[in-house]
Structure 1
């Protein structure tokens, strides 16, 4: 059966200590390297699935805080990547999902939109429709390539530096 959004491409976890969570993934299942962006999050790849770690840095109301208040830390969302964002959003709404939040991953980039949706999952897990435009695709592909050949060294790396490198923009 083909899923309406394609394969799951990312598992997004809310964590209370991002550095401890990265250590867990590196030292336990051997996932890495992680690309870390201060006050934002961390990304690593395992096969065809990206692992995203998000640590909440403030107390402002959000659906992230609602999740933590209800379920604690853990799997917050599964993401589907698309080059057809509006169609993905329309499919989610047609399947009974309610949009919780929308934004852009790379400010100023018109093709890096994302939106989170809920349909009342008992564990609180949302879905994310994530537009994989040119720069986001370059970043995600570079993270996946780094994981393929990773030998365990330098388990935490600078995501801002990688983004600047793959997009050719200054940090």
Structure 2
């Protein structure tokens, strides 16, 4: 557990083709299956760099597990976002680490006190998240703070359980 952010549970990758990336993870590393996270994501609030956004920034999102770690594959839309910017500037790769927070507001305030800046904020019925970047090191992976309600944790468990003893078939699945 990070003393700053909570429990590391996710590695988030931005990719040009989420399906191809999932098959690559499955073939090269034996990780899977990957589940389709429904888009458009029903954000009640979505802000990028502090400004409200109505555009969809996720074209496709797939989530799989290796042990307790969730692998998130994000295929961005052409709308302006840190996802799109990452892909254009660096190509496919690790864009963020996700941490489950025990006290979202306190951990967010502490991160900002350490100089981290809000890049993406999103609120949904069952979760909220905030991506933070370090302006002193803009090429470092972002930190995503995540606050999950029990129903969302259960959904993640439903994704994780099939990865235990997975036989490599049906790489991409619907929830």
TM over 0.5: yes
Please state which structure has a larger fraction of its residues in helix.
1
Q: Which has the higher strand share?
A: 2
* SS of structure 2 residue aligned to 1:87: helix
Secondary structure of the corresponding residue to residue 30 of structure 2 = coil
Q: Secondary structure at the match of 2:29?
A: coil
Match of 2:134 in 1: 119
SS in 1 for 2:111: helix
Matched, 1:52 2:72: yes
Partner residue in 1 for 2:7: 7
After superposition, what is the alpha-carbon deviation per residue over 1:124-169, rounded to whole angstroms, capped at 9, x for unaligned? 41100011212210111111211113222222100xxx3xxxxxxx
- Structure 2: segments with no counterpart, 5+ residues: 40-58
Q: Distance in 2 between matches of 1:7 and 1:65?
A: 27
Q: Distance in 2 between matches of 1:16 and 1:7?
A: 28
**Number of positions where the alignment pairs a residue of Structure 1 with one of Structure 2:** 154
TM-score, normalization by structure 1: 0.82
Please state whether the residue corresponding to 1:8 is helix, strand or coil: strand
1:84 and 2:103 correspond = yes
1:71 pairs, out of 80, 85, 90, with 90
Deviation at 1:97, TM superposition (A): 0.3
Greater RCO, 1 or 2 (C-alpha within 8 Å, sep 6+) = 2
Q: Does 1:94 find its partner at 2:109?
A: no
TM-score normalised according to structure 2 size: 0.80
SS at match of 1:61: coil
Paired residues of 1:10 and 1:52 also in contact (CA < 8 A): yes
